[in-house]
Amino acid sequence: MQRLYRKRIVLGVGGGIAAYKSAELVRRLLDQGAEVRVVMTRGGAEFITPLTMQALSGHPVHLDLLDPAAEAAMGHIELAKWADLVLIAPATADLIARLAQGLANDLLTTLVLATDATVALAPAMNQAMWRDPATQANLHLLQSRDMKVFGPAAGSQACGDIGLGRMLEATELAQCAADCFQRQSLTGKHVVITAGPTQENIDPVRYITNHSSGKMGFALAEAAVEAGARVTLISGPVHLPTPDRVQRIDVVSARDMLAACEAATPCDVFIASAAVADYRPEVVAPQKLKKDPTNGDGLLLQMVRNPDILATIATRPDRPFSVGFAAETEHLLDYAARKLKDKNLDLIVANDVANPSIGFNSEENAVSLIDRGLNTTVFTQTSKGKIARQIVSFIAQRLDQV
């Protein structure tokens, strides 16, 4: 399992001989699923080249505090906000001392001051430097500020001495980095979510659609990411920003959405919150339909059934844990229970869209969850974001029981 999946790690490389281990550390972090950006001190760049670290991380290495090109891309403040963890390896005695003083005289120390992320140090220095009271006092001060210290290990050193001061090996540091994050309920799971309406063309100008805003589906995507999942969000036409760390696929029609869902599977969880059109015009006019004076005031459209996306995914041989939505205006629980059975679902979320305070385009929702045993769990009215987190937590609990 990739315990660091989509975690954002800034790797700071100080000026010590142990910098050669930092190259291997990048690979081990990537193996655990992390996204890695490298910041090097000038001393670190003397021991291992920025080009090496760029090739391994797949991203430009950040070196200078006052670099116009870097600031135009991901400047130090953006980098500080981007990080989930700042891991400094090697952390030399000099770098530790500057951090303890709160200096901001290079890019790495400035970034540490600017970030709200966890900061961890992997000390690497001569054994006498490690034992020096000044170094120990600096470390105790940094630990009192909630910085983490990984290591050091004991053994032979580049100078020929033997003792504490060796930087931990890359595999050990990657494990320590993973331990900084609590294992989340959907860590390592792939969740596919549909959201919003679909549009079915009548002619090049007109189409059939519904009032779905996509807000519930987008909130579910955010909640699934918070729970550690890899999320694919397949959305009909909506005007919502893509949640952070979510792969978004935009579609228009029901058939487009089905194709995108089939391409995104297999997955672990499929949540169909989109309001998909049940029917589409049998024939789409190639040109805009004009009023027909011989046809009175009417227009007759022959409609045909759209494919059932949820039923198609839920009956696959490699079916995921399948969750449907029942947006109803009457007989809410009865209709939802019937849909659960007919579509072979594990769970269905029923909500009353006739209630304007929790219907389409509202900021809040209230839902009832029905499982295969027809047991009902009610989540009372609150924000769609909170409802989404409750639903995702409920799904994670059921996955643990499968």
Which residues are catalytic, by number?
Answer: 159
Q: What region, left, alpha or beta, does residue 219 occupy, with left being phi > 0 and alpha being psi -120 to 50 degrees? A: alpha
For every residue of 184-202, which 3-state class applies, written as one string?
A: CCCCCCEEEEEECECCEEC
Q: What stretches of 118-214 show up as alpha helix (H) in DSSP?
A: 127-131, 133-144, 170-179
Residue in the block written with tokens 């100078």? 159
Residue 210: how many other CB atoms lie within 10 Å: 17
Distance, first Cα to last Cα, the chain? 18
Which backbone phi and psi does 119 adopt, to 5 degrees?
-115, 130
What gap in Å lies between CA 221 and CA 216, rounded to an integer? 9
3-state secondary structure of 133: helix
Give the integer Cα–Cα distance in Å for 188 and 125: 36
- Residue 49 and residue 46: Cα distance in Å, rounded? 7
Distance CA 206, CA 317 (A): 38
The token pair at 93 is: 């005695």
- Rounded Cα–Cα distance for residues 162 and 400 (Å): 48
Helix axes 384-401, 215-226, angle to 10 degrees: 50
Q: Using DSSP, state whether 377 is helix, strand or coil.
A: strand
Helix, strand, coil shares of the chain as percentages rounded to 5? 35, 25, 40
Q: What are phi and psi of 250, to 5 degrees?
A: -90, 135
Phi, psi of 275 (to 5 degrees): -95, 90
Q: What span, in angstroms and rounded, lies between the C-alpha atoms of 342 and 339?
A: 5
Omega into 237 within 30° of 0, i.e. cis?
no
Edge-to-edge strands, sheet with 321-328: 246-250, 230-235, 190-195, 269-272, 321-328, 347-352, 364-371, 376-383
